[in-house]
A and B are shown apart, each in its own frame.
Chain A
């Protein structure tokens, strides 16, 4: 067990290191950040001085070394735009993103799994076919477009939901959360629904596929031969087995949600780290982009690890190696 943990930790560190190299390289070869910091009419001497201050006059390797060491200390430099530590900026906005992602995920799971189980168990019923056609539509939707349609219908046309912002927040454990106010829920509704649709469709399809695969297995028939009811065979014998493939992609879906949150936050002016990323890309605010990418890489790597752990809990055949 300990050996496995150690092995995974090393793998995770390796991945993060590779990501840091790639991020660093991309950032170094695209444009000169000096011009973000100095005023337009700076003299050559001032530019050179700024370069020295930013450490841009040194070799790439030295720059990278400095980059990594300050990373490990949590120092990502200051945002060119906000003049605040980039890490602080991101962490301030992270709760908003996390909330939206969580609500979207819960929504997706709660709707997709039961529908998927039904569609998998009764693949030829009319309802199933409708469900599957809708799920196919769901994965064909451009997420940002759906958000816009929802905004137009519910915010502009009917005025039922707000179209932007987070609403009233309450401080909880040092973070601001909007989930404890009804105004907060009012604001999170449209963005979370928009975000959840794609994942909902995919989870539904995976559940259905898993269910159908499982229904063909011998042990299902054997259970029926014992006298178990069709319904019990489905839920007691089949369900857990069919959810195994769903767990496999759960981590990836969570990652996708975080990624698509960037777009959703942009549309709904949701003050999360995704919107910050997009804004920073526009403004070439390098430190913030770097923080976002490294943080998100860390999150993904951890999620994948956790999913693997959960996997071993569900399936007794799988052991940690």
Chain B
């Protein structure tokens, strides 16, 4: 997906979300842009603490102080969500755009039954009467793989396992028929064995409903299977984006290369795990020039002076690098 596609479902342009803390201003999201078309899955990738979740919350207008959206546009159906009022945002949340949180153990209110929490979405966003809502909830629970749905509606969250709870959360996210689902690390808190089940479930659901998804994760392996295109974030900036195939097979940015290399390959025997050396810099005191230069094997003098901007590379890729990788390059 290149820039300038006709009628994207969601267009984020130059988004800036900053947090003003005692020890400095954290530029969690610093000039991030991307677009998503209908029925597409976009992977939003980066290391923990890199600002990915903040992007998701910014879209829904759920940034609380000391955070604030400082600039940019978020266009949904021609309307800018950054400047839209709370009333409009409330109509969007849960209905046009819904969100799946990371930790299923804490997303659900422990004192409300699952049925009540599901019903809430329909009461807010539909005109269905009580029995129609009840029916819809049962159907949705069944379609996310929870059997005995009618009884389960009367149960409390703590009576479900982690994986089941996440299914409930997914059900809630899908109930009102949203056009875009933001899934914030939906499987990170789950057992490895459950992860693939949940991912398959999500893929099936969005395909059947023709919805789009932003899949936020640090796990490139997950995203390479699910996403149509990928945006890579580092320290609040977009460092690369493009179609999944191109990005995974022939990445242009050294950081992306590093992420891909650090996925253990179970087919080959490795003596050591490959890792990106160093650690994420303190986001309050970012180095001049390219944020990644201290950890980059290709860094040169220019990288310390001038900050790179996103430029078209080979294939569908855009990367922000002075010395990007070409197809066939080793790192």
Contacts and interface: CB of A to CB of B under 8 A. Distances in A.
User: Do any beta carbons of A and B sit within 8 angstroms of each other in the complex?
Assistant: yes
A222 B184 CA distance: 12
Nearest to A315: B111
B91 interface: yes
Nearest to A219: B109
Interface stretch (B33-41, B93-101, B129-137, B240-248): B93-101
Contact of B111 (A224, A228, A316): A316
Contact of A317 (B86, B121, B158): B158
B241 to A, nearest CB: 25
A225 B95 CA distance: 10
Contact of A237 (B103, B112, B121, B156): B112
A229 interface: yes
A226 B91 CA distance: 9
A227 B109 contact: no
Interface residues of B, number: 28
A66 interface: no
A218 B106 contact: yes
B49 interface: no
Interface in A204-252: 217-219, 221-230, 237, 240-241
A222 B90 CA distance: 13
A222 B101 contact: yes
Interface of A: 217-219, 221-230, 237, 240-241, 314-317
A223 B156 CA distance: 16
A225 B108 contact: no
Q: Which 8 A-B pairs have the closest CB atoms?
A: A227-B94, A218-B106, A226-B94, A227-B93, A225-B99, A219-B109, A222-B107, A316-B156
B125 interface: yes
Interface in B61-102: 62, 86, 90-95, 98-99, 101
B318 interface: no
Nearest to A221: B62
B91 A223 contact: no
16 contacts: A224-B62, A224-B93, A225-B98, A226-B94, A226-B124, A227-B121, A227-B124, A227-B125, A228-B90, A237-B109, A237-B112, A241-B110, A315-B110, A316-B110, A316-B111, A317-B110
A317 B107 CA distance: 16
B60 interface: yes
